[in-house]
């Protein structure tokens, strides 16, 4: 059979090399560098494995570590690194690509959906530029936990299958232990893939890529490029609304980090809000605050305009503008629905938007904890008011107004707890797991944190401390693009 067709591979996976149907200028075929002499499985995630039909018993297979650190191929799949370009911090960066990532397989799930199996940190590729192709344990754990936390909140995202310790020391700001992440996504194709060919005047390649993406992931839009772009606009707008409602800041919303499927992709210096600060900047290298929390919806639209330009040889400009113009209303509608659910509003009444807006203003003034403010809203007044600290003088009036509005809505505690998580992956929580692994080789906290963030709405008796804001020694943790 042709290598592009489905077949059974090791671990019972149904593999195909769908991306390789595109011409060779879209990627470089290459084996992994075989990073590390003594790779060891640090942690595996059965919930992610189930997405591609991987039996948990596979984690104990002697071939599992060699395959998922790149020392052995996954069946007869020919690994490849993708090429793309992009705008980074608003400036055209030219050719980029998978500088430390390698596609080692594409697997069909039971529903027929295709999943990429990609290694991150498996070594140099032709697109590594000045990098070393490695990943450090710190960033690997953060992506492993972050993608699972976002997925459990019902937000579209890549997923994380396992972490393998390479045994190498990798230089960043200081020497750090190396690791390889295996991540899964329905596609790793980015806005930057289209930009790469458009800005080289290769319009036929733009069409080939668009038809490839539509045929596999958007079959309802075959023959309708403008309608497909409108769907990308919708997914991106709804992703931005979901991030804002969850209090999640991505940190590096470059066009090469924007998924054509509307997934949360490339977890670097991300952060969940502790104290509510609309201007929160989670990436210490983002000195101008381009990717601050409050800027994310606007940046999502900016990136879609860059994508529209990249598709301008394929779609009439009037249709592109028409689809782009829908972005704001889609975002506002979705964000409004999510925020109404967070405060338990079902019926739609005049003044509701102002009620929610007033709460956010109050939270910002008091620097109230974002997650706990919504989670504890149905609880006793005193415990909720305590979240506002010394700035609590205005909170009782808002709470009285809110409770008057809730008359007639019925008991809403269970419904609100189903959309307001108790546990999010705060930086201090991730840092606790990282330090345990790096300092003591102890994956116990990592395992515990993963269980909590994969079930964020449950109470988890005995684990209340993991839901709290950071202690003083963990305040001000700094993350950057190497995180």
Catalytic residues: 256
Q: Would you call 332 helix, strand, or coil by DSSP?
A: helix
**Quick one: which H or E segment has residue 164?**
strand 159-171
CB atoms within 10 A of CB 23: 11
Q: Which two tokens stand for residue 222?
A: 């075959």
Q: Would you call 378 helix, strand, or coil by DSSP?
A: coil
Q: Would you call 126 helix, strand, or coil by DSSP?
A: coil
Q: Would you call 247 helix, strand, or coil by DSSP?
A: coil
Report the C-alpha gap between 373 and 385 in whole angstroms.
9
Report the C-alpha gap between 394 and 387 in whole angstroms.
12
Place of tokens 């400009």: 317
Report the C-alpha gap between 70 and 481 in whole angstroms.
24
What does the CA dihedral 232, 235, 239, 245 come to, rounded to 10 degrees?
140
> Measured at the alpha carbon of residue 444, what is the angle toward residues 441 and 445, in degrees to the nearest 5?
100
Report the C-alpha gap between 332 and 72 in whole angstroms.
48
Report the C-alpha gap between 235 and 256 in whole angstroms.
17
Q: Would you call 336 helix, strand, or coil by DSSP?
A: helix
> Measured at the alpha carbon of residue 257, what is the angle toward residues 138 and 172, in degrees to the nearest 5?
30
């Amino acid at each position: 059979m042709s290598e592009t067709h489905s077949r059974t591979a090791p671990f019972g996976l149904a593999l195909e090399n769908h991306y390789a149907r595109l011409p060779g200028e879209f990627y470089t075929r290459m084996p992994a560098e075989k990073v590390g002499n003594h790779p060891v499985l640090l942690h595996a995630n059965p919930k992610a494995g189930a997405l591609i039909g991987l039996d948990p018993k596979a984690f104990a297979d002697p071939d599992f570590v060699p395959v998922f650190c790149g020392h052995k191929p996954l069946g007869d799949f020919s690994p490849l690194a993708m090429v793309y370009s992009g705008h980074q911090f608003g400036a055209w960066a030219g050719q980029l690509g998978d500088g430390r990532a390698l596609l080692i397989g594409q697997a069909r799930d039971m529903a027929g959906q295709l999943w990429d199996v990609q290694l991150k940190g498996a070594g140099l590729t032709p697109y590594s530029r000045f990098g070393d192709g490695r990943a450090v344990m710190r960033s690997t754990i953060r992506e492993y936990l972050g993608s699972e936390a976002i997925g459990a909140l019902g937000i579209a995202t890549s997923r994380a299958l396992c972490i393998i310790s390479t045994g190498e020391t990798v230089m960043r700001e200081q020497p750090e232990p190396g690791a390889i992440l295996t991540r899964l996504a329905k596609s790793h194709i980015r806005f930057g893939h289209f930009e790469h060919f458009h800005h080289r005047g290769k319009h036929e390649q733009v069409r080939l890529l668009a038809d490839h993406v539509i045929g596999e992931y958007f079959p309802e839009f075959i023959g309708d490029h403008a309608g497909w772009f409108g769907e990308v606009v919708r997914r991106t707008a709804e992703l931005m609304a979901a991030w804002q409602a969850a209090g999640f800041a991505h940190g590096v919303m470059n066009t090469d980090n924007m998924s054509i499927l509307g997934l949360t992709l490339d977890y670097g210096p991300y952060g969940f809000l502790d104290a509510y600060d609309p201007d929160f900047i989670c990436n210490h290298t983002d000195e101008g605050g381009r990717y601050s929390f409050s800027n994310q919806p606007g940046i999502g639209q900016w990136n879609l305009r860059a994508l529209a330009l990249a598709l301008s040889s394929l779609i009439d400009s009037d249709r592109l503008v028409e689809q782009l113009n829908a972005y704001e209303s889609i975002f506002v509608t979705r964000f409004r629905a999510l925020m109404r659910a967070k405060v338990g509003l079902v019926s739609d009444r005049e003044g509701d938007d102002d009620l929610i807006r007033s709460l956010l203003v109050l939270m910002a003034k008091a620097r109230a904890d974002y997650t706990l403010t919504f989670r504890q809203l149905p609880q006793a007044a005193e415990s909720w008011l305590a979240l506002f600290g010394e700035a609590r003088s205005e909170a009782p009036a808002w709470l009285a107004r809110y409770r008057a509005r809730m008359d007639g809505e019925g008991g809403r505690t269970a419904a609100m707890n189903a959309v307001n998580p108790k546990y999010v992956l705060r930086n201090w929580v991730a840092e606790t797991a990282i330090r345990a692994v790096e300092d003591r080789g102890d994956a116990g906290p990592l395992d515990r944190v993963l269980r909590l963030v994969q079930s964020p709405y449950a109470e988890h008796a005995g684990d209340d401390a993991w839901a709290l804001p950071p202690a003083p020694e963990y305040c001000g943790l700094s993350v950057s693009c190497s995180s």
